[in-house]
Every structure is written in structure tokens, then in C-alpha cells.
Structure 1
Amino acid sequence: MATITAPTPAPATTPAGRRLPPWRRVPAGLLFTLPFLVFYVAFLVWPTLSALYLSFFNESLTGTRGEWVGLANWAEMFGDSAMWASFGNTLYFTLLTTPPLVVLGLVMALLTNRAMPLRWLWRMSFFAPFLLPASVVALIWIWLFQPGFGLVNDTLTRIGLAELGWLTEPELAMVSVAIATVWWTVGFNYLLYLAALQQIPQHLYDAAAIDGAGWWQRLRSVTLPMLRRTTGLVIVLQILASLRVFDQIYLLYQGTGGPGFAARPILEHVYTTAFTNFRFGYASAISTFFFALIVAVSAVQLKLFARKGPDR
């Protein structure tokens, strides 16, 4: 029986029959994505691999030659109480900020998606704080939290309550940061929800109204199911952003970590270890561990929200 062999693909040629040069045979999509890939490798992949490599050395920023220490940095990290305390502060901040940032963003979007007077002004007001740099946000809230003449404590005294040491009491240190962060960043989630609300077909609401559904029933049966994937995206992005908190805490407490280090996140601990204590190898071990943890959390969240749903 004759053996059938697959035909050999002909080399790429021009209409005149000549072979194309190698650079002309590269897929066009790869050429368009090449600038991004170069920057992605240079500023993400390479630093990540370098941090993993340095975590096995006693590397310092003082110019001394690093020596191989193997897993010593990793063993020290898992027994470092300061690292675990800062990690706990980061998780506490994430728990404080994620629910209000998701819920408030949705509520604000629902309010301004309706026909109302000066709707453009409300939308701009809700989103405007997100455009401010971290330094400006920190300065605003340092003044708002000041004892005596700060707006927050002044309001408390006017309604008959006692002043609180928002930036001086360890119990309130992370709460103060959470309040400032929610005010600052809720506009981003609000914008995502507003865009998603505008994509919900109006005929779904019309059909629900014909069936006699009220406002609450339309919200529960139409709006929230159609926003399921948007909510999943908002939750994933918000948790990742909260885990990477650094700027506002560092600026609010001038790099001290707050009273009793009650507001020091893990990234500030990494920064202090590397650029104050000059232990770059040990800081690389902590940052690599935290990076792996964020990747794992992202993978779990994407798996949970990957199911198909009615949301677009």
C-alpha cells in the first residue's frame, strides 16, 4: 500500500516568485507587540528574576560583594516577627478598604446613572479625587485629621463626641489610612461600574417593569446579575491594589510606619530593609515571597470569577 506523506509547505515568496527576506516572514502581530514585549521583559520579567536570584545572596547596597547564603534569607524571613507584623497590617488594610470601595463605587454609579440635575457635576466630583497624586492626598488628610482645628475632630466635638488621635493612636492608625484611601480611590471603581451600567440593555428593565417589578426587584434581578463580571473584576483589582499599598501610608506617617508600627505595610518593610538597613538580598527574598503570594491570590480570584454569566 502506498504511503501518503504530508506535502512540504512552500517557502514564503513574493508575487514575482522570489523568496521573502527573513524579517518579512515575521508575523505582523509579533511586530506590533514587540515594543511592549521589550518593555515587559526589561521592566517586569528581568527585575523579578533578578530579585529571585539576589534572594540567595547576602547582597548589600554599600558596594560590598555579595556572598552565596542559599536559603538563609528565606529561613530568616519566615522567622522575622517584624515581617509578619507588616504582612498582617497589609491584610488588615485590605479587609478595611475592599468592601467599602466595592460597595460605594456601585452605589455612586447607581445614583449618577439616573437622570438627575447636574449629573455631569456629580460624576466629575466622584471621580476627581482619583486624579490627585498621593502627596496631595496625604497632605489633605494630615490637615483633616489634626487635633483641635482639623475638620474631622472639629466635627466630632460639635456633635458632642471626644476628639480622636487619628494619626497618633495605634488602634486608629490603619483606619485613618483606610478612610483616606477610600476617599481617594473609589472614583476608579465608580467609573468601571458606571460604564458597565450603561451597557445594560434598556429592554430588560422595560420587560421587568411590565411584569410589575419595582426598583428593588429590578436591581436584584436585572442590574446586579448583569454586573456580576464587573464586580468580579473590581474585587480582583481592588484586592491587588490594597495588597500593594505603600505611598499614602509612607507619606501620612513620614516613613515611620505609624505609632508602634501599626500602619507599616509589607512593602514599606521591604523598602526599609533594602534602603535603610542596606540588606538588599534579604529584601529581595521578602519581595519575591510577596510577589508569589499576589500571583497565587490573583489566580484563585480569576478562577472563581471565570464562570460564564450574563454580564458582558
Structure 2
Amino acid sequence: MASLTPRRRRATDWTNALFVLPYLIVFVAMIVVPLAWGMWLSTTKSDLFGTEGFVGLTNFVRLFGDPIFLQTVWNTFYFVLLTVPLLAVLGLALALVLNRQARWAAVLRTIFFASTVLSVTVVTLVWRLVFLPDSGLLSVVTRALGGTPIAFLNDETLAMPAIAITTIWWCIGLPMVLFLAALQQVPRALYEAAALDNASRWRTLTRITLPAIRRTFALVIIIEVILQFQLFGQPQLMTLGGPNNATRPIVLFIYETGWRQWELGYASAAAQVLFAMILIAAMVQYWLSSRREAR
């Protein structure tokens, strides 16, 4: 077949570009422009009525001297450490158990994934009823066992773990489904060979299953890190950031600063810090997983 002439090749390239154009327009309008606008706002003194002037890095200097903001940074990291490892490990465990061609496995997969489609309002309402100190499910069970009910959401030490439990119950469906998809791509011949060699379940898991799904494991970690750094609805609806700022994450700080105190420049600076944290965390995880694969 004769090669295309330069004019036809250029026409083909422009035709291909037209297929990409709608995505590029949406990407620029929804991602690039708001990101650039937020970076510019973070260097200004702005409110809901307009911009007063350029202030440079003043908002960032103020942020890192603000004890409330520093507390929200710690709260966010603490929440990510509580949730991401458990979401990955429990999601993998559920996928291993439910990776069967059986009706009961299909029913359980549906049940575990069903919580993912619920709104944050419904999830937090259900779990507030669980954690109520007087008439909640946990208090009823504790009294039945002869113990003293604990006010989880009113305790500075226990409030964030309570929100983490709520989030894990809500979000466990996504990692489970991703791991299930990965497990179903592992060749069955490998498991048959391991069975012929009388390999134990632990050896099969560590030598066949985990190496085969390591990329999916890294993907789940990166996705969950990005999602959990954006914690907002659960503390907003369950604790309002309390008690004593113990559950106030960065996104809630941004919301309150920007839309309640009307300091858009200051809130935009906090948003840029959050963006940098998510980017660094995701890149570090990607780098670590790439190094493991290169070995």
C-alpha cells in the first residue's frame, strides 16, 4: 500500500485531533483553569466581593503559623493512615474470599459494594445512630455486656477512629471490586501448578497471587490516598470538626475559611497546600511501586 502524501497525513492528524478535542476542552475548563485561578487567588487578599490586592506568599506564611491549620494537617494525615492501609488489606481479603463462582459469593459481593453507592448524608446518619452515647447500637450492646457506654464522637481520642470506621464501611466496595477484577485475570494454570506441587495457601498467596496483582495494589493505594485526603462530609456531618478541632480536616478548614469567613485568598492557599500534599503522596507511592517492580 502506498504511503500517504504529506497533505493527506496532515488531514488525518487533524481528524484524529478532533476526537480528542472535546476531552481537552473539558479538561482545560474543569481542571487547568480552576487550578491556575486558585494559584492566583492564593497570592491575593480576596473575598466574595472581589480582590483587594496582591500579597505574594503572605497567605502561606500565615498558614504555617496558624495552629488550627497545622492541626488540620495532622488530622488529615492521621485519617489517611487510619483508613488507607485497612481499605487495601480488607478489600484484598474480601476479594480473596469472594473470588468464587458461587451464588452466595455474588450476593455478598453485591452487599459489600452496595454501601459505596450511598450518599455521605445517609452513611453518616446511620453511623451517628450507631455511635450515640445514650441509645446507639454500641451503647445498647455495651450495656448488655455490663459495660459503660462510650461517647465516641465526643472524645478527642476516639472521634477520628470512629469516622475512620464509618469511612471504611462506606468505601470498602471500590478496592474490593478492583482486587476482584485483578484476581480474575490471574491465569488458572498457575494455581493448578501450585496445587500439583502441594503448595500451601500462604505460599500460593505470597508467590503467585500478590506478585500478579501488585500493580492493582499500587493503584488501590494511590486512589485511596487521593480520596481520603479529601475528607470532608463525614466530620462535617458527624462532629462539625470537633471536639476541640480533633476531627477537622484540611478540606473542612478550606470550606469554613472561604465560605464562612469569606477569606478566599487564605482558603485558596490552604487548597494549594492540600494539592501539593496529595501530589507528593501519590508520586511517592508510585515511585515506591515502580522500584519494587524494577527489582
> Quick check: TM above 0.5?
yes
Instruction: Name the structure 1 match of 2:36.
Output: 49
Residue from 19, 31, 44 that aligns with 2:18: 31
Deviates more, 1:129-138 or 1:26-35: 26-35
> Within 2, Cα distance between the matches of 1:73 and 1:117?
57
Decide whether aligned partners of structure 1 residues 69 and 149 sit closer, same or farther in structure 2, where only a CA change above 3 A counts.
same
> Within 1, Cα distance between the matches of 2:147 and 2:91?
29
Residue from 143, 147, 151 that aligns with 1:165: 151
Alpha-carbon deviations, 1:45-88, whole Å to 9, x = none? 11111111111111111x15421212211211111111110010
SS of corresponding position for 1:59: strand
SS of corresponding position for 1:149: coil
1:154 and 2:140 correspond: yes
> Within 1, Cα distance between the matches of 2:21 and 2:91?
36
Instruction: Name the structure 2 match of 1:186.
Output: 172
> Within 2, Cα distance between the matches of 1:267 and 1:65?
22
Q: Displacement, 1:237?
A: 1.1
Residue from 116, 135, 154 that aligns with 2:121: 135
Q: TM-score, length-normalised on structure 2?
A: 0.93
> Within 1, Cα distance between the matches of 2:151 and 2:110?
32
The runs of 5 or more residues in structure 1 that have no matched partner are 1-8, 14-19
Instruction: Name the structure 1 match of 2:63.
Output: 77
Deviates more, 1:25-34 or 1:37-46: 25-34
Instruction: Name the structure 2 match of 1:227.
Output: 213
1:279 and 2:270 correspond: no
What's the C-alpha RMSD, in Å, of the aligned pairs?
Answer: 2.0
Q: Displacement, 1:169?
A: 1.2
Decide whether aligned partners of structure 1 residues 35 and 308 sit closer, same or farther in structure 2, where only a CA change above 3 A counts.
farther
Q: Which amino acid aligns with 1:140?
A: V
Q: Displacement, 1:30?
A: 2.0
Deviates more, 1:132-141 or 1:297-306: 297-306
| Aligned counterparts, 1:1-312, within 5 A | 11-13=6-8, 24=11, 26-61=13-48, 63-116=49-102, 118-253=104-239, 256-307=240-291, 309=293
Contact 2:44 2:265 in 1 (8 A): yes
Q: Displacement, 1:147?
A: 1.8
Larger radius of gyration: 1
The runs of 5 or more residues in structure 2 that have no matched partner are none
Q: Displacement, 1:290?
A: 1.6
> Within 2, Cα distance between the matches of 1:203 and 1:10?
49
Decide whether aligned partners of structure 1 residues 65 and 126 sit closer, same or farther in structure 2, where only a CA change above 3 A counts.
closer
> Within 2, Cα distance between the matches of 1:64 and 1:28?
42
Q: TM-score, length-normalised on structure 1?
A: 0.88
Q: Displacement, 1:27?
A: 3.3
Q: Which amino acid aligns with 2:99?
A: N
Q: Which amino acid aligns with 1:79?
A: G
Decide whether aligned partners of structure 1 residues 11 and 29 sit closer, same or farther in structure 2, where only a CA change above 3 A counts.
closer
